[in-house]
C-alpha cells in the first residue's frame, strides 16, 4: 500500500482513476504526493524569504510522495513560502498567489511553507496552510489562476475534491477549491462552483454544529438545495477530510465527504440546485483558499485536490476515496 516512495499501487493515482472513467483531470494540485501513477515532476515551488530565490520540490519517484527534504535543506536557517502549486495534469493550470481585485486590494499572500507539516505513510510532507484577515489591504493566503485550460464553463459537467485538515477551519467565507470567475469579482449567482469546508452559516449550512462539506456557488455557500440544513449533510469530524462536489449539467448537484483515513465516502446531498442556480454560468478560473470574489476571511489547510471534465461515476468516487485512504494521511 504505497511502498517506499510510491502511493498509487496497481490503480495508479486519483487522476488515473478519473481517466479510466472517461472523466479526466483538468487540474491536479498537491504539495504532498503525485496524483498520477506516472507523474515524476515538481509538485510545488518554495520561495526563500532571505533572498527571494525559489526552489522546485519534486516527488521522490514517479507516482510518489513529495521530496520534502529538498525544501528543508533549501529553507534551512530562514523561512519559505509556497510560491507555485504546480498542476500535474497536461493543462498547466498552475496556482500562484491571487492577483489584486475583489476583496484583495493588493492580491493574495503566499502560504508559510512549513506551517502544515504532516506525515503520510511514513514520509514527511507539507500542506498549504491558509490564513484569514478582515483587512482588505493586508489580505490573506489565497491562490488563483484566471487563465486556465480545459476547466468547465457555462453549464458544463465537472467534479472536484480536496483533502484538507479536519481541524483547521472557521465560519467565514470562504475556504474553497474549484471553479470561479475569471475577473476576481462577484459576477452573480451560479458564476462559480467550488467545494467548501468549514462551519459557515452565513447562507446555507449542514445539520449539527459542523464543519460541513458545502458548495460555494457564488452569492451563497450551500449544504443542499436551499439555505435550510439537509438532514443528510451531517457534520464531518476527522483529522483529515475528503470534501467532494459533483456538478452535472442541469438542475442537480452532489456533495460527498469522508474521513480521508477511511475508505468510507458518504453522500451529504444529492438533489436540485438552489433557486436561481440552474443553468450554471461557470467561468473556469481555479481558486484555492479564497472565494470567487477574492474574499479572504475563511481558512483551512489543503493537501491535494483534483478537478475533472465530465461527471465521474459513483464507483470512481469510491475508488478515489480508497486511493486517498491508501496514501496514508497521518500515518
Output the CA–CA distances (angstroms, integers) from residue 322 to 17, 23, 70, 261, 296, in the order listed.
11, 18, 29, 9, 32
C-alpha cell at 43: 509538485
Angle 311-261-33 (CA atoms, 0-180°, nearest 5)? 70
| Gap between the Cα atoms of 243 and 269, Å rounded | 12
> What are the tens digits of pLDDT across the range 158-176?
999 999 999 999 999 999 9
Query: Mind listing the pLDDT tens digit of every residue in the chain (331 residues)?
Result: 344 445 544 469 999 999 999 999 999 999 999 999 999 999 999 999 999 999 999 999 999 999 999 999 999 999 999 999 999 999 999 999 999 999 999 999 999 999 999 999 999 999 999 999 999 999 999 999 999 999 999 999 999 999 999 999 999 999 999 999 999 999 999 999 999 999 999 999 999 999 999 999 999 999 999 999 999 999 999 999 999 999 999 999 999 999 999 999 999 999 999 999 999 999 999 999 999 999 999 999 999 999 999 999 999 999 999 999 999 999 9
List Cβ neighbours of 129 (8 Å cut-off, separation of 6 or more). Answer: 111, 112, 115, 116, 141, 168, 301
CA 192 to chain centre: 14
Q: Is the dihedral of CA 155, 160, 166, 168 positive or negative?
A: negative
Q: Grid coordinates 436540485 are at which residue?
A: 272
- Other C-beta atoms lying within 10 Å of the C-beta of residue 271: 14
* Domain residue limits, the chain: 9-327
Q: What is the DSSP letter of 20?
A: H
Residue 193 bears catalytic tag: no
Looking at the domain 9-327, which fold is it?
A: Jelly Rolls (2.60.120)
List Cβ neighbours of 220 (8 Å cut-off, separation of 6 or more). Answer: 189, 203, 204, 227, 274, 277
> What are the tens digits of pLDDT across the range 32-55?
999 999 999 999 999 999 999 999
- Other C-beta atoms lying within 10 Å of the C-beta of residue 322: 17
Cis peptide before 279 (omega within 30 of 0): yes
C-alpha cell at 303: 493537501
Residue of 181, 293, 299, 317 marked catalytic: 293
Residue 299 bears catalytic tag: no
Contact assessment for residue 130 and residue 175, using Cβ atoms and an 8 Å cutoff: yes
Q: Which run of H or of E encompasses 176?
A: strand 176-180
- The length of the chain is 331
> What are the tens digits of pLDDT across the range 232-286?
999 999 999 999 999 999 999 999 999 999 999 999 999 999 999 999 999 999 9
C-alpha cell at 267: 453522500
| Gap between the Cα atoms of 257 and 269, Å rounded | 10
CA 89 to chain centre: 15
Residue of 110, 186, 218, 299 marked catalytic: 218
Burial label, 101 (beta-carbon count in 10 A; 0-12, 13-18, 19+): middle
State the virtual CA torsion across 288, 291, 294, 299 in degrees, nearest 10: -60
Q: Which residues pair with 244 in a beta bridge?
A: 161, 256
pTM of the model: 0.96
| Gap between the Cα atoms of 128 and 198, Å rounded | 16
Amino acid at each position: 500500500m504505497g511502498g517506499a516512495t510510491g502511493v498509487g499501487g496497481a490503480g495508479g493515482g486519483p487522476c488515473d482513476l478519473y481517466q479510466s472513467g472517461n472523466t479526466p483531470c483538468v487540474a491536479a494540485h498537491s504539495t504532498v504526493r503525485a496524483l498520477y501513477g506516472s507523474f515524476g515532476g515538481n509538485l510545488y515551488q518554495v520561495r526563500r524569504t532571505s533572498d527571494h530565490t525559489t526552489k522546485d520540490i519534486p516527488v521522490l519517484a514517479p507516482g510518489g510522495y513529495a521530496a520534502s527534504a529538498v525544501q528543508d535543506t533549501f529553507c534551512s536557517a530562514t523561512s519559505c513560502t509556497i510560491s507555485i502549486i504546480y498542476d500535474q495534469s497536461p493543462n498547466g493550470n498552475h496556482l500562484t498567489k491571487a492577483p489584486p481585485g475583489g476583496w484583495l486590494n493588493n492580491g493574495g499572500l503566499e502560504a508559510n511553507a512549513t506551517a502544515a507539516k504532516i506525515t503520510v505513510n511514513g514520509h514527511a510532507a507539507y500542506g498549504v496552510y491558509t490564513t484569514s484577515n478582515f483587512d482588505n489591504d493586508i489580505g490573506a493566503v489565497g491562490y488563483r489562476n484566471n487563465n486556465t485550460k480545459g476547466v468547465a464553463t457555462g453549464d458544463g459537467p465537472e467534479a472536484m475534491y480536496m483533502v484538507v485538515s479536519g481541524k483547521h477551519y472557521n465560519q467565514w467565507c470562504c475556504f474553497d477549491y474549484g471553479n470561479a470567475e475569471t475577473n476576481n469579482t462577484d459576477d452573480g449567482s451560479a458564476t462559480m462552483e467550488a467545494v467548501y469546508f468549514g462551519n459557515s452559516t452565513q447562507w446555507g449550512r449542514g445539520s449539527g454544529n459542523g464543519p460541513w462539506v458545502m458548495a460555494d456557488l457564488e452569492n451563497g455557500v450551500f449544504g443542499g438545495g436551499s439555505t435550510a440544513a439537509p438532514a443528510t449533510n451531517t457534520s464531518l469530524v476527522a483529522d483529515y477530510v475528503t470534501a467532494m462536489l459533483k456538478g452535472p449539467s442541469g438542475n442537480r448537484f452532489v456533495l460527498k465527504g469522508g474521513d480521508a483515513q477511511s475508505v468510507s465516502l458518504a453522500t451529504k446531498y444529492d438533489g436540485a440546485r438552489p433557486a436561481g442556480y440552474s443553468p450554471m454560468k461557470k467561468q473556469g478560473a481555479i481558486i484555492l483558499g479564497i472565494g470567487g470574489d477574492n474574499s479572504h476571511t475563511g481558512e483551512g489547510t489543503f493537501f491535494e485536490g483534483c478537478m475533472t471534465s465530465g461527471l465521474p461515476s459513483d464507483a470512481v468516487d469510491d475508488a478515489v476515496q480508497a486511493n486517498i485512504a491508501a496514501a496514508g494521511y497521518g500515518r
